[in-house]
Amino acid sequence: MKYRQLTKEQFESLHEEFAKFLATQQIDAKEWNEIKLNKPKVAEEEMNIFSDMVWEDVLKRTNYLEHFSSNSINLFRSDAEFIHRIVVEVKKENFNFLKPQDYEWFVNNSKDDSIDYFKGQKPYLKERNVEIFELIEKGSVISEGELYEAIFKIIS
């Protein structure tokens, strides 16, 4: 397995797609129930294959990721060759990006002297989608890139 198996909730939300996937394997609902009951390893393998297909599709369309912590924001933009990163840190006592009022202060005061911005890029050390997946597993979330692009304009 290249990534990780989808959660029960993710499988439930992709029920129709999974049924179509099984149909491409010539497995109908009755046979699937029989496989789950009598051949759990085969069922697990089918679920793993489907999970990898879903992850691969999601990851290839992912261009931006965000990771918020109390004292910093990590923003990522991925292209074919590089992953670009912007780090935002606020050096104010008791500041917390996870508090709405502090985040709002940051948005309204993005050029304040207490804010440090860092940017860089690196080539992928592994396959692009694997590196993006690892960032997601570490807590990053997929975004549309508005925050990345807005901050990029501020610091460029």
Query: How do the domains of the chain map onto residue ranges?
Result: 8-60, 64-155
In the predicted model, is pLDDT for residue 156 greater than 90? no
CA 129 to chain centre: 10
- Count of CB atoms within 10 A of residue 129's CB? 19
In this prediction, residue 61 carries a pLDDT of 96
- Sheet strands side by side (includes 141-143): 115-123, 82-90, 72-78, 64-68, 141-143
Q: Give yes or no for a contact between 155 and 119, defined as CB atoms under 8 angstroms apart.
A: yes
Cα torsion 138, 142, 117, 146 to 10°: value is -170
Q: What are the tens digits of pLDDT across the range 43-88?
A: 999 999 999 999 999 999 999 999 999 999 999 999 999 999 999 9
Q: Give yes or no for a contact between 103 and 97, defined as CB atoms under 8 angstroms apart.
A: yes
Q: Give yes or no for a contact between 79 and 114, defined as CB atoms under 8 angstroms apart.
A: no
Q: What are the tens digits of pLDDT across the range 80-91?
A: 999 999 999 999
Its pTM stands at 0.88
Please give the full DSSP string across 61-101, using - where no structure is assigned. T--EEEEE-SSEEEEEEE-SSEEEEEEEEE--TT--TTSHH
